[in-house]
Amino acid sequence: MSLNYYQLFDLPPIFNIALATLETNYRKIQSEAHPDRFVTASSADKLKSMQLATLANEAYQTLKNPANRAQYLLTLNGINATNESNTSMPADFLMQQMEWRETLEDASMASDILTLQALYDEMLAAAKGLAADLAQLFDEKKDYTNACETTRKLIFIDKVCADIQQAIEHLD
């Protein structure tokens, strides 16, 4: 069995992790494993170094981002949040989702960067709320069914954020 990302960084498998510890331990590992430490080493050492440094980067990015972390934590509990059978969403969230999409499209058409930025801020606030919910669902209630639904909401919001960024980039 291989170590999971939490074990790699010496962290408990919870949602509300200490980000400072994550960062410190990530740097400790890269200080030892990074290919820059093996420039004059044998090619076997170089290969191992690249593999471990790559793994540490992947693990760090996964645990740093709340949506990725939630998704990963669900996987550790045997749940695939993006599985095709996991598609149900509450009606009110679907409504809201359509509204956000419409605002995004209208603002893009009208080249309205200010509205796009306001929408982006709104999404960030919504993401923050969902992350707080996830901390409760995962760490206190151990309610993985609802955590899965909330995770999917968060993934959706991340995607809208990326689309807003892209729309702003196009207009810039």
Partner 1 sequence: MALLQISEPGQSAAPHQHKLAIGIDLGTTNSLVATVKSGMATVLQDEHGHALLPSVVRYMPDGSVQVGHEAQAQQSHDPANTIASAKRFMGRSLKDIADRAHIPYHFVDSADANKLLQLQTRAGLRTPVEISADILKTLKMRAEKSLGVDNGRGELLGAVITVPAYFDDAQRQATKDAARLAGLTVLRLLNEPTAAAVAYGLDNAAEGTFVIYDLGGGTFDVSILKLTKGVFEVLATNGDSALGGDDFDHRIYCWVLDKIRESDSHFSPLNEQDTRLLLTKSRQAKEWLTDNHEAQIVCRLSNGSLVDVMLSAQQFVALTQQLVLKTLTPTRKAMRDANLELTQINGVVLVGGATRMPQVRQAVEDYFKQTPLTNLDPDKVVALGAAIQANALVGNRSDNDLLLLDVTPLSLGLETMGGLVEKIIPRNSTLPVARAQDFTTYQDGQTAMSIQVVQGERELVADCRSLARFELRGIPAMAAGAARIRVTFQVDADGLLSVSAREQATGIEAHVLVKPSYGLTEDEITYMLKSSFGSAEADKKARMLAEARVNAGAIISAVNIALNQDGALITAAEKQAIEAEIETLQTLSQNDDALAINQGVDKLNHATEAFAAARMNASVQRALNGKNLDAINL
Neighbours of 23 (CB within 10 A): 13
CB of 146 to partner 1, least distance (A): 28
Contacts with partner 1 by CB under 8 A lie at: 1-3, 7-8, 10, 25, 27-37, 39-45, 47-55, 57-58, 60-61, 165, 168-169, 172
User: Smaller CB distance to partner 1: residue 61 or 96?
Assistant: 61
CB of 113 to partner 1, least distance (A): 11
Positions of E strands within the chain:
none
- What's the Cα-to-Cα distance from 66 to each of 17, 44, 62, 74, 157, rounded to whole Å? 10, 35, 8, 12, 11
Cβ closest to partner 1, residue 16 vs residue 48: 48
Residue (61 or 77) nearer to partner 1, CB: 61
- Separation CA 157–CA 160 (nearest Å): 5
